[in-house]
Every structure is written in C-alpha cells, then in structure tokens.
Structure 1
Amino acid sequence: MTASMTPAELCAHFVRYDTSNYGEGKSAGETELAIEIARILTDAGYSPEMYAPEPSRTSVILRVPGRDRSKPGVLVHGHTDVVPAEPEQWSVPPFEGRIADGYVYGRGSVDMKDMVAMMVATALEWAADGTVPERDVVFLWVADEEDRGDWGAGWLVQEHPELFAGIGAAFGESGGHTTPLTAVDGSTVTLVPIAVAERGTLHMRLRAEGISGHGSRPAPGSAISKLIAAAQRLNEHQWPLQIGEAVRAYITETNSALGYEVDLTDDAGVAKAIDQMGEAGLVAGVTVRCSSTTTVLNAGYKVNVIPGVAEAEVDVRCVPGTFESTQAVLAELVGSEVSYTFIDPGEPTEFSQHSPWFAAMRAAVLRSQPNSVVVPYCMGGGTDAKSFAKLGIECFGFAPLTIDPEGRRTAGVHGVDERVPVASVNGGQRILSDFLRAV
C-alpha cells in the first residue's frame, strides 16, 4: 500500500506515528516510525540500516550509490521527531494524519514529516524506475532534532562518523519553501529562500546563591535578587547590528526583486528594508543581531522562606562570526555575583551562496518554477546541520515546497492545527528528486 502512496499521503501516514520529543531524553519514541520507514525501503529492494543509542531512539540511513563515486556524495536528512501537541486546542486530532480541504493536518506535517515523506517517496521512485544518481546520495531519517540531537545526529556524528564518509554537502530543513510576496508595483514575486547559514546557540544556565532566611525579614543580596538582576541585564541588552554575508544578500536581493532600494548602514535603514520585505522580513529581523532571552526560572519552595539558591535558563542566539565575542559580552552582562554554564553550545554555520551546491538547488527550483526568485538566507534557529558541519560537510536548508494553486499556505508549526498543502508536498518531492538526480 505505502509504495503507491503520493508524497502527501506518505506524510499523513507518518504523522499517525506519535514521535513527540519532550526533551531531556524523554520521547514518545521514534523507533516505531523508523521500523516502518525501513520496512517500506526494504520492500522496494533497498537495504537500509538502523542505528540507536537506546531502543526507543532509532534513526534510519540508506546510501544509494551514484554513477561517479569519486565525486563527493550528498546527505539528505529529515528528523522524525516532533514537538508535543495539546489535543484539546486542535480542531482535528494532532496524530490522526487527516487529509482534508487540500491539506495534510497533524503534528509534524510541516516540521518535518513532509520532508521525511518526500525523501521516502524519492527513494521509492528511484527504485521503481531504476534511477542511479550522479553521485552517492545518503538519506538519513534521524531522531531527536527537536531537542539537542544527543540521541540523533549528534550521537551519529560522534559514534558513527564512517556513515558520512565522502559526503561533501548536506541538505535538510529549513529552506526551499515558496513564499508569494507583493512587489511595489502590485505584482506577485515568488520568493524561494534557501538556508546557507544558521545562528549559533549559547544557551546558558545561571545560578545565584545567597543566605536563606525568613520571608518576613528580607535582606539585601538574596539569591533571587542577584538572579533577577542578571536575567534582566541579559533580556534588556541592546545587541548591535551585525549583518553577515547571507543576511545582507537575503535583505538586498529580496528588496531588489520587490522593487525597493535599501540602505543598511544604520538601524533605521535596516528596519525599513526588513519592513519592505513583508512576511519574508520576519526571519531577517532576528538574524541581523544576537539575542538573549530568559525562558526558565527556578527558585524557592515556600512563600515565607527566602531561598538560598535561584537558577534560570537563557536562550542565547549568536549570528555567524560572533561565537567568541558573544561569550565575552555575556560574561560581562551576567556579572560576578552569578555563575553560569553553557548548555550544549553550538557554533553558527555559514556556507557560500556562490557554491556549485547552491547553484544546483537554484537550478532545480527554476526548472519547476521558472519565475521564482531564489535567495540565500540565515536561519534564526538551528537544525541538525550544526552536527554535520563538525565533519567538514557544507550544510544547507533545502526542503522544497511548491506554491499551492489555490493559495493554501503552511501553518501551525510548533502550534495548533499544523498543516501543509497537499499540492506543495507533491510538488516539493518532484523538485527534491530532480535536484538529487542532477546535482
């Protein structure tokens, strides 16, 4: 049955596997879906392999040999885990995998079981028509991207680097999604951003200590006071503009396609340029500078007791080229009264938009959508690319989705009623297969 499914139908099929990742090593388990993917591939004549650091956290890998094995191979990766859902807030059950009104509904339908399905569909298509790609193509369906990758990409890179031998470039989330924008003359511009960079992570755990005491007798220098002061400094710090090559290209090329001129020499000019980009400016706005946001606070156990320890966690993102300098600023902001450690720091990634890899992605998009404007961009968040980059692999975000002919758009990522247009998934798979055949 699955061999004859469309990519969108496969996406719905995979949504029905609850692979919720709760963080800190807790998960509904990716293994059941990994077994299903391996079964489908095996039935098509392939010999996929499964790897797991522990039984419930399994990843699947398949290497398809190319015609010229002397060329660097390519890695295509998609994560099988999803963020948890709150069913009471949804209009459809989040793991039903419903196809209705031209959409695939369900948790993970966009992030990223659509890509997981497109990868499987591409492998099945090749098996059916005897396709041999130009170079080795490694498909990886990987666990634990929605946390830190300790049970997925990070573990594979550390424990099984041989699986990625000979790989020159990797392609995964998040990029290749088609975005219609309105130009200054009222025409529609079909924008397709491809990720060539990601902000780095310098997440922090803060700890302040003070003297415990009775809540009715407050004393200066309590643990909570020290912690709140440090957290506030981090939250309110005005990080300066630091526009890297990818971000500059994204802003200038998008504005040019829309018919606008830009001046990126000061905050006002940057803000204007980003505003002119419409919805495409959302990601630009968070990649022109670093950010630090306190997200977790822990202190106290009883209302009339002053605690001796207070802790917090801070989400810190740094733009490419600032990994070391950002750490120095953070140390100054935290100050001497609060200690801190970094939680699984990950350096920013940045690769060339002028590379043959980017040219091949652009060409594949234009073969499908000739009037598209393909631009590089920097992700505001992070992906498994950070793990693969440690092996010297060039990493890009390319999980293509085409325009839905009736104007449907993806929605609900990490939120309620997550959904992806059926036509976008099926069209995206055609681009992905074409790209991997020709690259």
Structure 2
Amino acid sequence: MADGRALEEVVAFTRDLIRIDTTNRGGGEGNERGAAEYAAAKLAEAGLEPVVVEKAPNRSNVVARLEGTDPSAPALLVHGHLDVVPAEAADWTVDPFSGEIDDDGMLWGRGAIDMKGMDAMMLAAARSWAREGVRPRRSIVFAFVADEEASAEYGSRFLAEQHADLFAGCTEGVSESGGFTFHSGGMRIYPIAAGERGTAWLELTARGRAGHGSKKSPDNAVVKLAAAVARIGAHEWPLRVTPVVEAAVTELAALHGVEPDFADLSGLGEAAQLVEATLRNSANPTVLEAGYKVNVVPEHARAEVDGRVVPGGDAEFEATMDELCGPDVAWRYAHRDRPLTAPVDSPTFAAMRAAVKKYDPEGHPVPFCMSGGTDAKQFSRLGITGYGFSPLALPPEFGYGKLAHGVDERVPVEGLRFGLRVLDDFLLNA
C-alpha cells in the first residue's frame, strides 16, 4: 500500500511536471527533456537505473526496469507520455503551467489529467516500494515517453523500432484513458480500456482544369472535392459491434436495468458516451485547401479527413472511402495506426477490476474501447497487449473527456491520491 509520503509525493510530482512546459506542437516541434530528466532523477533516487534515449535533441524518453519477485512471470509495461497539447494562457482562468492548487483542492495545469498525473503516480509508486522494501510479483518496465500528442515518431514508435530490448519479456502494458470515475444514473462507473479504434488520417486530392473564374468551369477541382467531402460528412456508417464493445454495452445495460440494445443506447443514460463512438467506423472532414485568388479556378484542391476504424473494420473503411470519393477524387493514408483489442477475461483485467473495487467498493469497473488511440498502438508492434488504466477519482461535475485537452484542465488532489492507491495495488498484485 502506498505510504503517506507517497500520497504527498504524487501531488508534488504532478505540480512539478506541470511546471515543466513540454508543449508538443507537432511537426517535430517539442521538448520533453526537462520532464525526462526530472523523472529519471526520481527513479534513480529509488534505486532504479533509468535509461534516457532520444531520436532528436530534446525529444527525450526514459525507461527503467524493476525486477519482480517471480522470474517466471511475464513483465508488465507501465507507460505514460511526458508531452502535452498546447494551451493558450489568455483562455485559461490560471496560468496553464502554474501547477496552482486552489482552495477547493483542485490542481490546475496543462497535463493534470493528460497525463502528468499518471506519470507522477508511476514515480510515487516506485519510490514507495523502495522505501518499504517491497517488489511486485511481475517485473515492471516504467516508460516515460515523448511525442504521444503527435505522431509518436520521437517517442513510442522510436522506442519500439530502435530500443525493443528495453521491453524484453513484456507481454502486457497499461497506460492512459481508463480507470477514471464516470458518473451515470447515480452510479460511479470506472471504464477500463481494452481496445482502441485505429487511426486513419486521410489526404484527399482532386484535379481539374485551371481557368478564369468568370467563365464556365465544368472540370472544377473544388467542386469535385467539395462533393466528396459532403458525401463523407453525411455518410451513416453501419454498426460493427466488436467483442469489447459488446461486453461494455452488456455490462452497462445490466447496471442501468435495461436490455442491451446496440442500435439505441438511450437506456444507458450518460454512460452511452462511453460506447457510442466505438460502435462503428467514422470519418470526419477537418481540413480544406484550394485556390489562391477569387477569380482563378484552381487546378488542385485538397482535404484532410480524420478517420477512425474499429477492430476488424479496415476493409469496410477502405471500400467505403473508394465509393464516397468516387472516380474524381483520390485518397491516401497520411497516417495510419492499427486498431487494438485486448481480452476482458484476463487475470490482468481482473486485477484492475479488483484494485478499483478495493478502494471504491460501490464503484463499477467495466470494459470499454477508446474512440481514439494511445502509445499502446506502437508497443503492440512488440507483441504487448495494451490496456487503458490510469485510475483517477473525479466528482460528478467533472468530465474526463472535456478536461483532457480542454481549457482549465485540472484534477482533484484527492483524486490523484485515490489513483495512486489503486495503481499501486494493481501493480503489486497483477
């Protein structure tokens, strides 16, 4: 069990990490070195031997291994990213990198939820074990990575491709976006991620005949592209119920006293939000580019589409995009990552459930599939099955999904302490 010092350290470490600006603006622009050096120093103080590796200057990753008591047990990867999305200070109530704690016990700052709080839990747990002289049954590999908020090129992808030896023996991993409190129907629900939709970011291009804007333009690239974008935006994707989503809807329906109905989630109340985006593939047009002057018909037009694919839905997604784009618009993958799925009947999932129930006996841990993705996609290339479990206690007025990447991101101090207790218990008993 995490000691009293650990419960203080998890708060202090979260504040310190927030105050280290690790904004990731994409396109290779980022700097995680300060946070990586901080994490490495805290791990070294706990007797571990952290390794710091970079693909490019300042894009730092930290990996440390703690040997377990059972050499025959497979190792467990626990990973968190150090980078954060941008925050415009003018939009915030407080400085987004202040780490301020207000009178209500809320710790403010970019990364409080996504995911420097989890990083702090990992550090606090490792240090608590060192003080208490305990070790988990399974060997634990701690990884603090760069570039999750962009392409993972400098973080987990680099680690999986160039430093796979650091993860030798790991069969499963846990990271963000699961184990937080979700309130629905007066119940405290704790969704634990056992799957992720795949990422399918697309570039669409259309070509036509350039000409004067005052003349008839039957071969207009803008018109062709706009028609395809409109079809994509209006498309109704069919249901594709995966085993993880089936388990999620079934358990949530039982909690709400209704029969499972995948076509109508209204009986699940607020909890419908946990599954509605993962019942089907999706494609949202997000960028349009064409032309340079109002009286010139451009030869080229371009769009970007954020596609997400359920496990097993790749063939349907590609066939549908061919149909919606038609013969006049070409599409290609600008960035693609695989969907993931993990068993919900595994001993590891059961240990996560048990840890939540231990510290919230009236809580309801349930499986779910993430609508987006995490670094687990990259580590899956090493044969590591990924779960989302960064436990956090949140009050009813909070929304995890609204605060992560949102303005005024903040976390309850007591919520962090709850998360540390749960994570600590899980890691020691997994």
Q: Same fold (TM over 0.5)?
A: yes
Kindly report which structure 2 residues correspond to 1:250-289, keeping only aligned pairs within 5 A, or say none. Answer: 250-264=248-262, 270-271=263-264, 274-289=265-280
Question: Residue in 1 aligned with 2:235?
Answer: 237
- Say if 1:323 and 1:347, in contact at 8 Å, map to a contact too: no
Question: Residue in 2 aligned with 1:9?
Answer: 12
Q: Aligned in 2, Cα 1:98/1:107: closer, same or farther, shift over 3 Å?
A: same
Kindly report which structure 2 residues correspond to 1:273-422, keeping only aligned pairs within 5 A, or say none. Answer: 274-403=265-394, 410=400, 412-422=403-413
Matched to 2:369, the amino acid is: C
Question: Residue in 2 aligned with 1:47?
Answer: 49
Deviation at 1:407, TM superposition (A): 6.9
Question: Residue in 2 aligned with 1:267?
Answer: none
Separation (CA, whole Å) in 1 of partners of 2:244 and 2:394: 24
Q: Aligned in 2, Cα 1:126/1:407: closer, same or farther, shift over 3 Å?
A: farther
Deviation at 1:211, TM superposition (A): 1.5
- Say if 1:109 and 1:420, in contact at 8 Å, map to a contact too: yes
Separation (CA, whole Å) in 2 of partners of 1:337 and 1:134: 59
Deviation at 1:291, TM superposition (A): 0.7
Deviation at 1:120, TM superposition (A): 0.9
Q: Secondary structure at the match of 1:395?
A: strand
Aligned partner (choices 194, 201, 208) of residue 199 of structure 2: 201
Superposed CA RMSD: 1.7
Matched to 1:34, the amino acid is: A
Separation (CA, whole Å) in 2 of partners of 1:397 and 1:248: 17
Matched to 2:40, the amino acid is: A
TM-score with structure 2 length normalisation? 0.95
Tell me the alpha carbon deviations over residues 210-240 of structure 1, each in whole angstroms, 9 at most, x when there is no partner: 1211222240121111111111111111100
Separation (CA, whole Å) in 2 of partners of 1:409 and 1:120: 25
- Say if 1:103 and 1:419, in contact at 8 Å, map to a contact too: yes
Deviation at 1:122, TM superposition (A): 0.8
TM-score with structure 1 length normalisation? 0.93
Tell me the alpha carbon deviations over residues 154-183 of structure 1, each in whole angstroms, 9 at most, x when there is no partner: 11101111111100100001100122322x
Separation (CA, whole Å) in 2 of partners of 1:123 and 1:45: 9
Deviation at 1:408, TM superposition (A): 6.1
Question: Residue in 1 aligned with 2:425?
Answer: 434
Deviation at 1:202, TM superposition (A): 1.5
Deviation at 1:323, TM superposition (A): 1.6
Separation (CA, whole Å) in 2 of partners of 1:26 and 1:307: 32
Separation (CA, whole Å) in 1 of partners of 2:274 and 2:337: 19
Q: Aligned in 2, Cα 1:3/1:49: closer, same or farther, shift over 3 Å?
A: farther
Deviation at 1:137, TM superposition (A): 0.2
Separation (CA, whole Å) in 1 of partners of 2:50 and 2:90: 38
Deviation at 1:61, TM superposition (A): 0.8
Structure 1 stretches of 4+ moved >4 Å? 2-5, 406-411
Deviation at 1:275, TM superposition (A): 2.3
Q: Secondary structure at the match of 2:426?
A: helix
Question: Residue in 1 aligned with 2:114?
Answer: 111
Q: Secondary structure at the match of 2:278?
A: coil
Separation (CA, whole Å) in 2 of partners of 1:389 and 1:201: 14
Separation (CA, whole Å) in 1 of partners of 2:192 and 2:328: 43
- Say if 2:48 and 2:65, in contact at 8 Å, map to a contact too: no
Deviation at 1:409, TM superposition (A): 6.0
Question: Residue in 1 aligned with 2:143?
Answer: 140
Question: Residue in 2 aligned with 1:185?
Answer: none
Q: Secondary structure at the match of 1:71?
A: coil
Kindly report which structure 2 residues correspond to 1:153-232, keeping only aligned pairs within 5 A, or say none. Answer: 153-182=156-185, 188-232=186-230
- Say if 1:189 and 1:258, in contact at 8 Å, map to a contact too: no
Deviation at 1:85, TM superposition (A): 0.8
Separation (CA, whole Å) in 2 of partners of 1:310 and 1:360: 52
Deviation at 1:338, TM superposition (A): 1.5
Separation (CA, whole Å) in 2 of partners of 1:407 and 1:292: 30
- Say if 1:409 and 1:421, in contact at 8 Å, map to a contact too: no
Deviation at 1:403, TM superposition (A): 4.7
Q: Percent identity at matched positions?
A: 44
Question: Residue in 2 aligned with 1:121?
Answer: 124
Separation (CA, whole Å) in 1 of partners of 2:65 and 2:14: 22
Matched to 1:98, the amino acid is: E
